[in-house]
Structure 1
Amino acid sequence: MTEILDSAALANGLERVVSLLRRSAQGERVSLTAAATLRTLDAGGPCRVSELRRARASPSRP
């Protein structure tokens, strides 16, 4: 059972790496904020905009 899970995790990881390589090869410029938001969505799946806002919230400046 562990071997099947490890194979699935490996396949998922390879798929993510290939996806990232394809995106980077396109030559499009993406801001750091957009890249971080895409990474959050990629890791956690779909979520509400308000959840993304809370995840990216920074402390207020004095």
Structure 2
Amino acid sequence: MKKAMITGITGQDGSYLTELLLEKGYEVHGIIRRSSSFNTARIDHLYNDPEILNKSLFLHYG
């Protein structure tokens, strides 16, 4: 399985790239900025999917 790391995964471009790579079978590791709010609105549909989270999508604070 190919792996990818995306900085800014919760941004517009990062969220689109995440969807594309997951569809292509990649294991995606995303970097989330440490902030006072956990803003994952653009990837919530992926983040809340138990088939994806921690199997092919991993989120890390940076």
Whether the TM-score (by the shorter chain) exceeds 0.5 is: no
The structure in which a higher percent of residues are helix is: 1
Q: Larger Cα Rg: Structure 1 or Structure 2?
A: 1
TM-score by length of 2: 0.29
The structure in which a higher percent of residues are strand is: 2
> Larger RCO: Structure 1 or Structure 2 (Cα < 8 Å, ≥ 6 residues apart)?
2
TM-score by length of 1: 0.29
